[in-house]
Amino acid sequence: MERIRQMRRQILRWKGLPLAVSLLAAGVVGGTIGWSTAVLRAHWRADLAGHDGEVLQAVARLRQWEDQANGDALGPPEDPGEQLELGLKISRLPGVVGLRLFSPAGEFLNSFPVQMPEASLSPEDLATLRGLRPASHFRPDASLAAVDLAADLAAPAGGGRGVPLLEVNVPLQAPDAPRLVGVVQFTLDAQDLAAQYARLDRRLAGRAVAEFAVAAGVLVLGLQVAFGRLRRTQTALAAQAARLRQVNQELALAAKTAAVGAVTSHLIHGLKSPLSGLRGFVQSHAAGGAADSPDDWRDALASTERMQALIAGVVRVLEDQQAVGSYEVSLRELGEIVMARLLPVARAAGVHLHRRIQADGLLGNRDANLAILILENLIQNALQATAEGRAVQLVIHGAGAQVRCEVHDQGPGFPPTQLPHLFQPGRSTKTGGSGLGLAISRQLARNLGGELELTRTTPAGCVFCLALPQKILLPALLAADQLSD
């Protein structure tokens, strides 16, 4: 009994114990939230920086296919001269301010402009590139003197500070085999990306503060309740021990044992809920041939022009993205832009072109321009497949967690033997076709986080669907809207 009284006196004397334990628990919660926020921040930053790498890789492959199809290649894909020429073509895109060329082993070969100093690839980047995946790095405060780009970028006010740059390492591969033949490192103006990072940091900081306030508040409250119950239990046990001591020594000893068991039981019961909640919180955050006739030549010329138009479309989209600041494009405006560009083509072919918009929402100009490029290609294919006097229709509507952009034609459909190879480069049902359009369109759709599929094919027509996740839409209420034709 005396021991129980001593424990009671020690607990009551140490009034700072609840505060100390509460601060320790809050520190554990804060550290866990801070760690998970840092991991999430690094992941989101990598996704933002990697988006440009995926787009530049798609453009590089498109350029390679176009050069091979047109016979414009200066040499084999392994030739550094051919690789530099390919890099120079892509470097004309707005935002690209310089490039370096590396061998498959990571050795520096050349640069443009020539004043750019030599550099090297890290072993980690080289391993990623050998897997034919781009590797991007954001330099928030790069020195202009280090890259000799003073003529292309303006240093921010403040004197000696540098400018934000994005280094994108794009793997070059042989068209006929999945192997690395070279690396082009593009240096891009990353002021827009730096602004996105700043907005992301503010959002994550606000979220972390809110989560900490809620979690720490609940935990501290639970600990305070537990300590209150512990004090009351100790007081009751001490009073009971005093009464039992007056009976006899054996009963006092028995009472002492029972009291210690009761203290332990109450202590475990009081701490069980907050510790269980803390454990759950940590666990939730752990984790070519010769043509035989004039028609063949015309088909070949049409295919060449088709590929050139596709290249021009990609370049136009990227130029539009870099030439202006960020803005929003509604789904209705997206449909109107596509219609305005393709109505003259439809009239020339004698095909009716309609649209039906049944969803409302906003896309950033970057994603909208890529979606327009994909839809233009699908509708051009549909116009070519549809006979004079018949119709092609663009339908945009919401479906669950997606926005579906469908292109309906009234053509003859695809033969069953063509379906397994529909999105493969070099496979086409059209005479002289290269099969590049659908392959590139699917790759761009996946860069948007979506998918491009053939959802129906019959002798009466086909339906291609570009499915976009609603998460890429800017905040807007998706709802059915009026039909337009």
Q: 321 pLDDT exceeds 80?
A: no
- The residue that leads in pLDDT, 434 or 81, is 81
Confidence class of residue 18 from pLDDT cuts 50, 70 and 90?
A: confident
Q: 98 pLDDT exceeds 60?
A: yes
- Is residue 448 situated within a structural domain? yes
Statement to judge: residues 445 and 303 lie in one domain: yes
Q: Are 470 and 403 in contact (CB under 8 A)?
A: yes
Arithmetic mean of pLDDT, 121-141:
89
Q: Which of 43-47, 121-125, 156-160, 327-331 has the lowest mean pLDDT?
A: 156-160
3-state secondary structure 375-437: HHHHHHHHHHHCCCCCEEEEEEEEECCEEEEEEECCCCCCCHHHHHHCCCCCCCCCCCCCCHH
Q: What is the pLDDT of residue 73?
A: 62
- Is residue 324 situated within a structural domain? yes
- Which strand (E) or helix (H) includes residue 464? strand 461-469
Q: What is the pTM of this model?
A: 0.38
Statement to judge: residues 141 and 227 lie in one domain: no
Statement to judge: residues 303 and 270 lie in one domain: no
Statement to judge: residues 363 and 422 lie in one domain: yes
- The residue that leads in pLDDT, 301 or 437, is 437
pLDDT digits (tens, 9 = 90+) for 286-297: 444 444 566 555
Statement to judge: residues 278 and 317 lie in one domain: no
* Distances 231 to 10, 26, 190, 197 between C-alpha atoms, Å: 11, 22, 60, 50
Statement to judge: residues 422 and 326 lie in one domain: yes
Arithmetic mean of pLDDT, 85-93:
82
Statement to judge: residues 311 and 405 lie in one domain: yes
Statement to judge: residues 355 and 462 lie in one domain: yes
Q: Are 110 and 80 in contact (CB under 8 A)?
A: yes
- Is residue 447 situated within a structural domain? yes
Q: pLDDT > 70: what percent of the chain?
A: 70
Statement to judge: residues 266 and 347 lie in one domain: no
Integer-rounded Cα Rg, in Å, for the chain is: 33
Q: What is the pLDDT of residue 311?
A: 58
Highest mean pLDDT among 40-49, 76-85, 113-122, 129-138: 129-138
Q: Are 351 and 392 in contact (CB under 8 A)?
A: yes
- The residue that leads in pLDDT, 233 or 210, is 210
Arithmetic mean of pLDDT, 58-85:
77
Where a domain ends, among 196, 230, 260? 196
Where a domain ends, among 166, 196, 226? 196
- Is residue 61 situated within a structural domain? no
Arithmetic mean of pLDDT, 267-295:
46
Mean pLDDT score of the chain? 76
Phi, psi angle pair for 153, to nearest 5°: -125, 145
- Is residue 48 situated within a structural domain? no
Q: 362 pLDDT exceeds 70?
A: yes
Q: Which of 85-89, 339-343, 347-351, 423-427 has the lowest mean pLDDT?
A: 423-427
Statement to judge: residues 313 and 238 lie in one domain: no
The rounded Cα 455 to chain-centroid distance in angstroms is: 25
pLDDT digits (tens, 9 = 90+) for 236-270: 777 776 677 665 554 433 333 333 333 333 333 33
Statement to judge: residues 325 and 468 lie in one domain: yes
Confidence class of residue 344 from pLDDT cuts 50, 70 and 90?
A: very high
Residue 319's domain is classified under what CATH number? 3.30.565.10
Where a domain ends, among 151, 181, 196? 196
User: Into how many domains does the chain fold?
Assistant: 3
pLDDT digits (tens, 9 = 90+) for 439-456: 888 888 998 889 999 999
The rounded Cα 115 to chain-centroid distance in angstroms is: 34
Which residues constitute the domain of residue 103? Answer: 79-196
Q: 285 pLDDT exceeds 60?
A: no
Q: What is the pLDDT of residue 251?
A: 45
Q: What is the pLDDT of residue 268?
A: 37
| Rounded Cα distance, 372 and 375, in Å | 5
Q: 25 pLDDT exceeds 60?
A: yes
Q: Which of 29-43, 60-74, 182-196 has the lowest mean pLDDT?
A: 60-74
- Is residue 69 situated within a structural domain? no
Q: 408 pLDDT exceeds 70?
A: yes
- Is residue 358 situated within a structural domain? yes
Per the listing, tokens 């051919």 go with 82
| Rounded Cα distance, 450 and 470, in Å | 10
Residue 14 bridge partners (DSSP): none
- Token couple for 401: 């967690």
Statement to judge: residues 255 and 107 lie in one domain: no
- Token couple for 36: 């998970």
Residue 147's domain is classified under what CATH number? 3.30.450.20
Confidence class of residue 428 from pLDDT cuts 50, 70 and 90?
A: low
| Rounded Cα distance, 86 and 136, in Å | 19
Residue 407 bridge partners (DSSP): 394, 464
Q: 377 pLDDT exceeds 80?
A: yes
- Is residue 66 situated within a structural domain? no
